């Protein structure tokens, strides 16, 4: 899948022309598709069958554009990519904080055993 990210429509259109693989079948864009963007994608890569966009933008995309894409055989779907900032702590490490707390360990001991800062341990225990 070709991924094209841009800060604005002009940059996206430029990147479609310069970076999109002409034989691409699937494309991910991080902007709400307009007719101009879709035409640009289909002109550069006529074999595209799937365009993915973020969930929040999929809901904002007009039905008119979705219907037009269906008519030409291109599927527009919302992406399942995680949103927001990636987690810096693993789920296992966070779970170990709660496990050690259940065993009766103090926040200081949990901090030492897990290697997490004491303030972070307090944060997770309060968040609960």
pLDDT confidence of 106, banded at 50, 70, 90? very high
Q: Per this entry, what is the length of the chain?
A: 128
Task: Please give the mean pLDDT across all residues of the chain.
Answer: 92
> In 3D, which of 8, 80, 6, 2 has the Cα closest to residue 41?
2
- Digit-coded pLDDT (tens) for 64-96: 999 999 999 999 999 887 777 888 888 999 999
Domain map (residue ranges) of the chain:
2-78, 91-127
- Tell me the percentage of the chain whose pLDDT exceeds 70: 99
What is the mean pLDDT of the segment spanning 46-59? Answer: 92
What is the mean pLDDT of the segment spanning 36-50? Answer: 94
Q: Up-side HSE of residue 46: CA atoms within 13 Å toward CB? A: 1
pLDDT of 43 reads 95
Q: Compute CA distances 2 → 23, 26, 80, 113, whole Å.
A: 10, 6, 15, 43
Handedness of CA 36, 38, 42, 44 (dihedral sign): positive
Dihedral of CA atoms 85, 9, 41, 33 in degrees, nearest 10, equals: 70
């Amino acid at each position: 899948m070709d991924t094209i990210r841009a800060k604005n429509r002009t940059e996206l259109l430029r990147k479609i022309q310069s970076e999109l693989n002409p034989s691409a079948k699937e494309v991910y864009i991080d902007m709400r598709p307009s007719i101009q963007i879709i035409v640009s994608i289909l002109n550069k890569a006529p074999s595209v069958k799937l365009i993915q966009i973020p969930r929040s933008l999929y809901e904002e995309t007009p039905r008119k554009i979705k219907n037009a894409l269906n008519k030409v055989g291109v599927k527009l779907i919302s992406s399942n990519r995680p949103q927001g900032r990636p987690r810096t702590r693993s789920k296992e490490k966070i779970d170990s904080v709660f496990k050690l707390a259940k065993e009766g360990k103090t926040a200081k001991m949990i901090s030492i055993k897990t290697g997490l800062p004491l303030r972070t341990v307090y944060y997770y225990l309060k968040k609960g």
